[in-house]
Structure 1
Amino acid sequence: MNNIIAYFESIDPVWAAFLATLFTWGLTATGASLVFFFKRMNRALFDGMLGFTGGVMVAASFWSLLAPGIEMSEGEGFQKVIPAVVGFGLGAFFIFGLDKVLPHLHVNFKMADKEGVKTPWHRSVLLTLAITMHNIPEGLAIGVLFGGAAMGLEGASIGGAVALAMGIGLQNFPEGFAVAMPLRGQGLSRWKSFNYGQLSAIVEPVAAVLGAWAVMTFEPILPYALCFAAGAMIFVVVEEVIPESQQERYTDIATMGFIGGFMVMMTLDVGLG
């Protein structure tokens, strides 16, 4: 692990953010590849993995984003928390706006429950867009943290950025599975189901590169950018991930999955950050 961190410290931070999110995209594709081996999904396992995803995102929002964002902010008392409050609120409102405009369908919901502007797009596209929407803040968070660490700012470290990428990658595995398996169950071919599943994370490298470039170009925005990503991820967890995991009778499994995901991400961030 030390060799991996040393490697990322030795290369350009924008390139590092791109490589890290190629890893997270690769785990999404790996999760989607399960469609070649199974036609139906075990709902208890599925809800548990959704819960795990939520736990990772909530833990990452605090340990990797909010806490460093507050730590590197100037001032004392209420003044010190202003960038976190502003950034967090803007991130949540950004995803709120996307949620109202972008056509999408949450994984465990029926077509009648699709959100965003009206469109004739097929269920497969809508499911992919739902996952894509919350991959944007994930990629942005990784890029912003790599950029901040490269600038030598207090509270940001390459180890923390690597830990965040690992945590996001782990929860991307069930995300690929979450898109591909329902589509396969509805009759799409294995290849089409796989392609839709892995495409949901292709936005992460783009968001990561933009995030790293932005904070290196406009250094004062870093605390705001970190908390922006946190607000966006928390909105996704509350509005999407948790409700999806609570649709069936496996709510306890989903809840324990959430606890497990939180513990894994917390351990990664403290251990590597």
Structure 2
Amino acid sequence: MKKFIVAIVIFLLALNIFSEIIKFDNYTLNATNINFETVEEILEKYSKFLSTSEISTGTIGSFNYIEWEDKIIYFSKNVVVLGENALDNPNFDDIFNFFNIKYLKKENEYNFAEMVITKVEDFGSYLQFDYLGKNFIDIEATDNAINIISKGLIYFKDNLYEPGSILLTKNIDSSYKTELNILPKRTIVQFIKEYNIKNIIVKLFGEKIEKYDSKSFAIIFKDSNINAVFVPNYSPDFSGNDWKVFSISDKFGKLVSKKFNLKLFYVPFVQVPKDLPAIVIFTSQNSWKQISEFVEGELQ
């Protein structure tokens, strides 16, 4: 009886020693073997979580294989082949590194990156994060700056960031409000300000607008016989937070259209900053001064 109990204890200890835990989001796997079935489950779950290409499986001779992200792993009774490298006794590090999975290992626990940021763009009035997985970033406001912080395990610029870590800092005026807009595979951090239009910026179509503030309104002219005023449309990506900019632009666009008998169109203009109210006018150069003076008069 004692021998039986000792055998059971040894068996349980062995399970504990060789057990590896794989975790990401709400998924946890306690893996006691490195085999085809275990690796297939892990890659299938993680590929769906990231929304990348699906895995494919098959058999070649005595080998079962898994293909994912243009890489293939083969399993037989005595060997595992990673690409062209045959291993007699591979570990999970070998396999996860082969598939370029980003993970944090603590003892026998593998924590996969839950958000893999693939691209970040700074458009001035907002930051745009493209990613795989789920959104795990949040905003932390400080004096004249915001910190982008991690709420989960994030892979960003060749580094893994644990919860509470600062990914980046952006300096902004303290008068701005910040808003987090979460879209499918894209998160936008928008900087919102209050507007009190006092001055007009006049530019030619194609000229870059670099200096402006919350008191500015832009009129962009192009010498043309189209006779139309274009209002930069609002973006659904911002959950209505850029509606204030659009409403100001729309107001003056309608006034100018009615006063000078110009056709009115709503289209996006990439050369107009998204946080700057503006209208774009295609009409004869002879009427530019009159239009500018009219808009200035409406500001009084």
* TM-score normalised to structure 1 length: 0.20
Larger proportion of strand:
2
TM norm structure 2:
0.18
Higher relative contact order (CA 8 A, sep 6+): 1
Higher percent of residues as helix: 1
Higher Cα Rg, which structure:
2
